[in-house]
Chain A
Amino acid sequence: MVTLELTFLLLVVGLAVGILLALGQVYGGKGLVLLSSTYEQIFRSIPALVLLFLFFFGSSFVGLNISAFLSAVLALGFRSSAYQSQIFRGAIQSISQGQMIAARSLGMSKFQAIRHIILPQALRLSLPPWSNEYSSVVKDTSLAYAVGVIELVREGRYIIVRTFEPMIIYITIAVIYFILTYAGNRSLGYLEEKLKIPGFETKSRKE
């Protein structure tokens, strides 16, 4: 269950920060662009495990006392946001410039245009790669094991200590992860079908 909680929180943190980063990179000024691309570069280049340790040990280094769980949420969540931001940026950039111009010519503000015209399209386009990111996040929650979070793998270890059946337990754990990723990807695929709009690229406004 901790694994599911972790997954959910990581995706939420990653989604919120990721969208902001993507918008910052596409529509922001020079400073913002530089800032968000540096953020991306750093969080994508440092291994998840190292990030976990940095947040885990770093929080006490600066005098904060946060739980292992929270440091895992922050480390892996920020990491996911760097990947998600790239997904959203690509999607936003693939939507034609004309859509923005058309929205502005209707009198929408830049913010309104992003909110009502650009994002609804970009989020649809992002679904397939986002589904990959979902799988990565599910699997990466296992790394929280390293800082002592009692998630699926650590639960498994406890059982192994009692049963001495490492192979069977680990295979079972693998199967559970497989089901989690598989079911998630299936549902996201279903969602994609549901949200599909015919002739997407050239679609005119609904109604």
Chain B
Amino acid sequence: MSVNQGITLKVENIHKTYGREKVLQGISFEVKKGETKVIIGPSGTGKSTLLRCVNRLTIPDAGRIWLDGTEITHPRTDINKVRQSIGMVFQDFNLFSHLSALDNVRIGLIKVKKMVKGEATEEAMRHLARVGLEDKAAAYPAELSGGQQQRVSIARALAMGPKLMLFDEPTSALDPELIGEVLKVMRDLAESGMTMVVVSHEMGFARSVCNEIVFIENGVIVEQGPPEVLFEDPQHQRTRQFLFKITELYGKSERK
């Protein structure tokens, strides 16, 4: 456990305050290579802020973060370089509206990774195929369903060849019947050995896919552990209450 080897992400004592509101108050955790971690917690407890701190879209007030031994929080780290190795998937997709699905996936390869166009196209198509959307390559975001848009956004992140994928409530803006297709892509991704941190209340997904659930409330980690332990034998009353509430809301088993 204490051996540094095999640890992809290490987060140490992150603090973040907005105005007078202390959003994060000393969060620490580690994610091993190939592991999937699911973060849960009531809304407004800083889960999204935490994810954004990891790729420095939000700059934490204190604390340090390492990706594969490189300190992200070090001021001299080239953050644009680091971000290429951290894929991020947003709640509301944030696809580039003026670009087709293919161009959404390809633009990072061409403009950031400086790939030649032909090569970038091949690579982008490969990732669109991976999320089952090669036939939608020419469609613009407005012509895709929410589920399809989210899969394109996953492909966009994957195309950059990340070491770590962050998912910020990837299914909560979706109609219920579209959630399954996105979760399936995420499950396949986890099984293929991708290291992932997922903020989600899809407990079915958490149970069947993730290695560890982290329960955050009021900016601190209340409890973390393997899903079996947290579901069957939580140490804290709060964890029990919260899990009860969200399983009521979202259901226990994974949606198909």
Q: Note whether A and B contact each other (Cβ less than 8 A).
A: no
A contacts, CB < 8 Å to B: none
